[in-house]
Amino acid sequence: MNLTLKVWRQDGPDAAGALESHTLENVNKNSSFLEMMDLLNEKIMLDGKDAIEFESDCREGICGTCCLVINGQPHGKSLGVATCQVYMRDFKDGDTITIEPWRAKPFPVIKDLVVDRSAFDRIQAAGGYISVSTGPHPDGNAIKIPKDVSDVAFDHAACIGCGACVAACPNASASLFTSAKISQLALLPQGKSERSRRVKRMVEQMDDEGFGNCSNIGECSAACPKKIPLTSIARMKREYLRAVVSPFDAS
């Protein structure tokens, strides 16, 4: 495959950025998108230029670091996958591919395609730990949890914090990410004792970070590689209303 790549280059958060055009020849259609980026960087470095900065770690759709907007869509057009799970067979010979970083004020560009997503870390940290002392490690069956409840909690815990939901949302809302982290604990008995305090702190931190409000467009869930449902946001709003109306542990 022969491709034309338009890649965003930016030296830092305060620098002006622009799309830089490159051509890449003889790309194996079975290679992954990130392997294609590696090949592009090899070509750029052989030309004596600086490589394009982009993030990756596990390359298995687990870590959530491979954050690229591909032809205007976070993680590309395929549903339920991260960028590292996109393969070049999804493109055609002669295609022009535009590659950009996440676009959101709370995610400032560090360099090129790398953005600072530490706002997500601060939202999670605001929720705090479960402070209930359990003593020695209890038996796994000591607390009975219905399977339907544990399944839903696990589905929300699958969120990898990649930020595609923010990049896809026209309001740059972090509601899907925040609600997933709230839901996984609010659904389980171990997390219920501090559910009111947790949701208030996390929602307030989300707002402080500068993320926009949810307007139920649904792009966040469509772009999510783990298919976190919109019902998660509804649960967060119910939990927040409950905490405001009856803040029994919200101190």
pLDDT tens figures, 60-97: 999 999 999 999 999 999 999 999 999 999 999 999 99
Tokens 């560009």 belong to residue: 109
End-to-end CA distance of the chain: 60
Return the exposure string of 94-117: e unless at least 16 CB atoms fall within 10 Å of the residue's CB, then b: eeebebbbbebebbbbbbbbbbeb
Mean pLDDT check: name the lowest of 54-58, 131-135, 242-246: 131-135
Task: Give the Cα separation of 98 and 211 in Å (integer).
Answer: 25
Q: What is the pTM of this model?
A: 0.91
Name the residue among 113, 116, 56 with its Cα closest to residue 82: 56
Indicate the residue type of 62.
I
Q: Architecture of 3-111 per CATH?
A: Roll (3.10)
Whole-number pLDDT of residue 250:
46
Q: What is the mean pLDDT of the chain?
A: 93
CATH class of residue range 117-245: mainly alpha
- What are the boundaries of each domain within the chain? 3-111, 117-245
Whole-number pLDDT of residue 129:
78
Strands 73-74 and 18-24: unpaired
pLDDT at 140 over 70: no
pLDDT at 251 over 60: no
